Structure 1
Amino acid sequence: WYADHAVWSLAFSGGPAWDVVPSPTSVSFANHSTIYDPVRDRLVVYGGDGSNTVWTLGLSGDTGWHAVTPAGVPPQPRSGHAAVHDPVRDRMIVLGGTSTLDARIVTLSLAAGMSWGGRSLALTPPAARYLHSAIYDPVRDCMITFGGTTDSDVWVFSFSGGGRWDRMLVTGKRPSARSAHAATYDPVRDRMIVYGGHDSAGNLNDVWALSLGGRPTWTQLLPAGGPPPVFPPCSAIYDPVRDRLLVFGGYVDDVWALTLTETPTWSVLPVSGERPPARGGHTAIYDPVRDRMLVYGGEVIDAIGDERVWALSLTGNPSWSDITPAFSPPKRAFHTSIYDSRRDRMVIFGGRWEDYQATYPWDNLADTWALSLGPSPADGYWYTLGPGIPPDPRMGHAAIYDPVRDRMVVWGGMAYLPGWQVPVNGPLPRNDMKSLAWSAPTAPDPARFTGVRGRDEGGLRLGRLWPNPSRGETVVELELDRPGRITVDAFDLGGSLVRRLADSQFAAGPHTLSWRGDDQLRHAVGPGVYFVRARSQGAAVTRRVVRVR
């Protein structure tokens, strides 16, 4: 056997005749794919014998072979695959191959320079599941979900282009299939962090990182110190100011901190104030406006549940406080919560209601509630949300906030038959997806303005910075009681000036500015924590904003 690098042509005019096309090259191909690009009058050859190289052969003008390195992430090397030319979208479409057993459809744009496109599967959504995790990836505008029951696959739902599910192709040693774990997005390193959970062998307290840039790769982190006790389910948030993971619960009342620097280290966070009772099945969010962690709900040891809202202030010496409003939603566990950065509120959905003194001690919920946040506990209050048809009642589902489309997205979970009867084979896992969208505000609302330290003597108020975290434009809301000159600046954590956003006269009333995440030279700043300060007539108010990739 040998590979033939000659190119043959069969002329159809006159009597059909074979001939060799002059194409000097020492490169041989076998088990590859070839298409004709009519726009540029050339052959395009991809892969073969386990390679993932791309070659072109011009058929007019420059008739030589040329190796091409398309932009983007190339697919895995493969042989025996299929390819077609898509003339409508000016691209090559590749499917399959024996060396990779990759069932995804891969696209190669044929425009100038060439570039690899996205991968997609002609598949139904992932299998139904519950007690899984989901994060929002702001770089690629998608939801990434992992685990749930016995599944160790990673699935991606891309919101752009109408939305579609893909099974993520990952490398590296995988975490075990697990449920009841915690996951969060690490914006500094563009990765998903997974902690703990429960697998077929028992409870877990391991830490894994899935890099999302380039070829996704799993890596197990082996932190010094700790680890926390193994009692899932717990909650985890990313603290962007201190670049760390905060883990709470798992039926213990300690808060554990995991630094995410080059040498990750576990430590118990020293806290003051009345601690929340130990619990599991609760939720936690990071409040970027007030630099605190909020905890709500869950199963409490030796109690039915806890309807209180707890805040852990992270500025200075961490301290717990009870910020529960006078009126609260029904107690629940295994619900979801997100932080709505545009309206400065926590939103919860669903979960399991418990009352062990009732005829039926627990039931699933389908209600949606929002907790308005403010500078003091008296400003917070619960109210219901959800026009339209809500998702079916469920628990153990996952939810994210989609800042691009300003909505909460819920997927999966465990539901029951009509009348809340448990089927013979157990509860029904779900694989449906629902969204609750809110219309964006058209003008600043003075009632939403809250300075970091309240209203100052100059009559200047600095409202919300949204979205927060942000990877694009950040809207800055201001209000003046009387006309005056306002200077608005963005600073980094070291106190250095990054960008001057305004320095001019403003009329009395509300105003909005925008910061595109750039410096004075219009260069994009890196991910991290920044501060926006507004000054007017001797008064100054500052707020924090988190930039992500």
Structure 2
Amino acid sequence: MVANGPGRRQDQSMVWDPDTSSALMFGGHASNTFQYFNDLWQFHWPLRSWAELQPDFPGPSPRFGHSAVWDVVSRTMLILGGTHVSETYGDMWAYESTRNRWTLWLSSEGPGPRVYHTAVWDPLRRAMLAFGGERGVDILAELHYFSFVSRAWWPLTTGLGPRSKHTASWDAAARSMLVFGGWDGQTYLASLQRYDANSDRWAEVTAAGTVPWPRGGHAAAWDPASASVLVVGGVQNRSDTLSFSDDFFSFSVLTGFWNELGPGAPGATADLPPGPSPRASSSMVFDTASPASLLFGGFNGSYLGETWRYVMTPTAPTPTVRCQLGQPCLPEGTDAGNLNMDNLWLKTSCQNYQGLPPLDGSRLFVEPDSYQLCSCGGSSDCILAQDHTVPVGRFIAEGPYANQSALCYIGWKCTVPVWMGVGISTNDSLIARNDCQKMLASTYTLAVTINESANAFSLDVGMIDSAGTAEVVELCWCPFSHSCDSAEDGLICFWPIIVVMLTDFQVTALRLHIQCPPGQYELEGACQLCPADQYCPGGLATLFFF
């Protein structure tokens, strides 16, 4: 606990700056005493002290129930939305800490006014994902994506249900957002949902262990070392009785279990000092260097202004192994967290009966996704997949998703608006083939450029040769982390012809259907002009008479 900090309040925002080991806290309210805040404070952990900052230029108006994220590259805090008295905001503000100034970024181009929503930060794409919240009497299920670089918004797949006063935590290793609890307009929730940013899909998460009671207005943070969501406090619905909570929970993505932490946990020793009193609407951040969580403020019938710190038990980082599709995969040493890969099975879940092919150094061909590395439970001979039920690490299979396709017209410029996968990049390589795995050549030579597009990628295929024929072309992928034309590929010599066998390009990124354009029709593989008295929609379609 620290004295001489910000005034007592609730519904403020807080972010963590790892470069200075500091928390930045903004806004909040103590409306029962007619106080609405737009002050900005910094808690400096090395000095154990708070200091109010005085930025240049006026900043956001007083507000609460807004969201905040931190961009570590530019050391900028982004503020979105919030409310004050009868007005709900949809504006976005940026606080540039290196220049100590506020700037209004977007006043109307965003997803609209909202309060009690959440926002997480994707450091890989330098993007904010804002989910849920309230607008007037409506509880929202919208998910929106904001690019820091382009300063543009895009809508993403709507959530599985509306909720506000929930929490959202970002799992950077899997590029996924974990949403817990909240209020759906009728009841408090205890469900845990996962949004996979790579595939733009939502899913319910099945959890075991000591599952928290339904609640809203709780605080949460992400512990990357243990791959866990930390949840504290909130208003809980315990057997149809509402109360403020002081519970402190951890959900492990690796094991799928909830565990209670802190002095109130089962089996906690009596010498542990007491934790924060029951409360809701506080804010919490996580310091990975310590590692520790930092909690400030809240409400439990009275407004609170305390600063609390919970130090986690030191733990080795969860081993996270990455391999790329189509490339040899045999992780070892530090790449595998010093795990002995010979004794592990790869599964979608360690509780599953079946396992995936072993990582024996052969080329990897599985569905791109996040998997579990499973060790033997010790109750069997440890020979079969079903013997391995203990999760010890995570495995990320990187590459483009299967079964993606697009249509291009002969003689036209071609752009594929959406191309998706796990761990793919604008620096990856794509070549055209008739068949990627069989390494069969195509009649087309395409110079494909990969561009970022919202939460996915787009492909600029260029102009399709007007002298080309209708066919299905496979775009074959190789990640930029590999040479893609290495000596391993080799040269096969059929004198006087030398054939380059690009064995690194065996993964199909997308099937490109190249067809005759509208106004033409295909006849024996060639495009023909449409007769004046007939209609030709293009592609494989035949003539239509008027």
TM-score (norm 2): 0.56
Distance 2:92 2:297 in 1: 24
User: Contact 1:451–1:461 at 8 Å: present in 2 too?
Assistant: no
In the alignment, residue 153 of structure 1 is paired with which amino acid?
D
Instruction: Give the AA of the match of 2:303.
Output: P
Deviation at 1:230, TM superposition (A): 2.3
Q: Give the structure 1 partner of residue 72 of structure 2.
A: 187
Q: 2:46, 2:74 → 1: CA distance?
A: 23
Partner Cα separation in structure 2 for residue 257 and residue 224 of structure 1: 15
**Secondary structure, counterpart of 1:391 in structure 2:** coil
When residues 531 and 345 of structure 1 are mapped into structure 2, their CA distance, relative to the original with a 3 A threshold, is farther
In 2: Cα distance, 1:279 partner to 1:141 partner? 32
**Alignment of 1:141 onto 2:21:** yes
Within the candidate set 41, 47, 52, 1:155 is matched to 41
Please tell me the residue identity of whatever aligns with 1:287. Answer: D
Which residue of the partner structure matches residue 402 of structure 1? 287
Aligned position for 2:508: none
Aligned equivalents of 1:344, 1:353: Cα separation in 2: 25
Picking from 122, 126, 147, the partner of 2:6 is 126
The answer for the alignment partner of 2:81 in structure 1 is 196
2:245 match: secondary structure: strand
The 1:485/1:452 distance shift into structure 2, 3 A limit, reads: closer
Does residue 244 of structure 1 match 2:127? yes
Q: Which AA in structure 2 matches 1:394? A: R
Aligned to 1:160, the other structure's residue is in SS state helix
Question: What amino acid is aligned across from residue 267 of structure 1 in structure 2?
Answer: W
How far, CA to CA, are the matches of 1:531 and 1:283 in structure 2? 35
Provide the C-alpha distance between the structure 2 equivalents of 1:269 and 1:462, rounded to a whole number of angstroms.
38
Secondary structure in 1 matching 2:258: strand
* Conservation of the 8 A alpha-carbon contact between 1:460 and 1:478: no
Of 234, 246, 260, 2:148 maps to 260
Q: SS at the partner of 1:297?
A: strand
Segments of structure 1 that go 5 or more residues without pairing to the other structure are 1-121, 416-426, 466-475, 497-529, 539-549
- Deviation of residue 439 (structure 1)? 2.9
The residue that corresponds to 2:105 in the other structure is: 221
For 1:364 and 1:400, locate their aligned partners in 2 and report how far apart those are by CA, in whole Å. 20
Correspondence list, 1:356-371, <5 A: 358=240, 361-371=241-251
Residue 260 of structure 2 is matched in structure 1 by 384
Q: What is the rounded CA distance, in whole Å, between the counterparts of 1:295 and 1:341 in structure 2? A: 16
Name the amino acid aligned to 1:157.
F
CA deviation after TM superposition for structure 1 residue 301, in Å: 2.1
Q: Deviations over 1:15-60 (max 9, x none)?
A: xxxxxxxxxxxxxxxxxxxxxxxxxxxxxxxxxxxxxxxxxxxxxx
- Measured against aligned partners, the alpha-carbon deviations of 1:134-158 in whole angstroms (never above 9, x if no partner) come to 1101121101100011111101110
Question: Match of 2:191?
Answer: 308
SS in 2 for 1:308: strand
1:338 to 200, 221, 246: 221
Per-residue deviation, 1:532: 9.4
Q: Deviations over 1:258-282 (max 9, x none)?
A: 1212x412221146xxx32101100
Cα displacement (A) at 1:462: 8.1
Say if 2:232 is the partner of 1:349.
yes
Q: Deviations over 1:163-203 (max 9, x none)?
A: 11100121112101111110010123211000000113411
Within the candidate set 183, 199, 203, 1:321 is matched to 203
Structure 1 residues 492 and 312: CA distance shift in structure 2, 3 A: closer
Equivalent residue number for residue 113 of structure 2: 230
Q: Distance in 2 between matches of 1:266 and 1:224?
A: 11
Over 3 Å counting, the alpha-carbon distance change for 1:440 and 1:492 in structure 2 is: farther
Q: Which residue of structure 2 lines up, in the alignment, with residue 166 of structure 1?
A: 51
Partner of 2:337: 477
* TM-score, normalisation: structure 1: 0.56
What does 1:9-88 align with in structure 2 at a 5 Å threshold? none
Q: Deviations over 1:456-506 (max 9, x none)?
A: 99774688x9xxxxxxxxxx82322469999xxxx995659xxxxxxxxxx
What fraction of aligned residue pairs are identical, expressed as a percent?
Answer: 23
- Whole-Å separation in 1 of the counterparts to 2:333 and 2:9: 43
Match in the other structure for 1:205: 90
- Within 5 Å, which residues of 2 pair with 1:96-135? 124-135=4-15
Amino acid in the other structure paired with 1:130: Q
The aligned length equals 335
Please tell me whether the aligned partners of residues 320 and 337 of structure 2 are also in contact (alpha carbons under 8 angstroms). Answer: no
Unmatched runs of 5 consecutive residues or more in structure 2:
30-35, 134-138, 264-271, 344-358, 362-422, 429-478, 483-487, 489-546
Please tell me whether the aligned partners of residues 69 and 78 of structure 2 are also in contact (alpha carbons under 8 angstroms). yes
Other-structure match for 2:311: 437
Q: Measure, in 2, the Cα distance between the counterparts of 1:279 and 1:270.
A: 15
Give me the whole-angstrom Cα distance separating, in 1, the residues matched to 2:224 and 2:17.
16
> For the Cα contact (< 8 Å) 1:223–1:265, is it kept in 2?
no
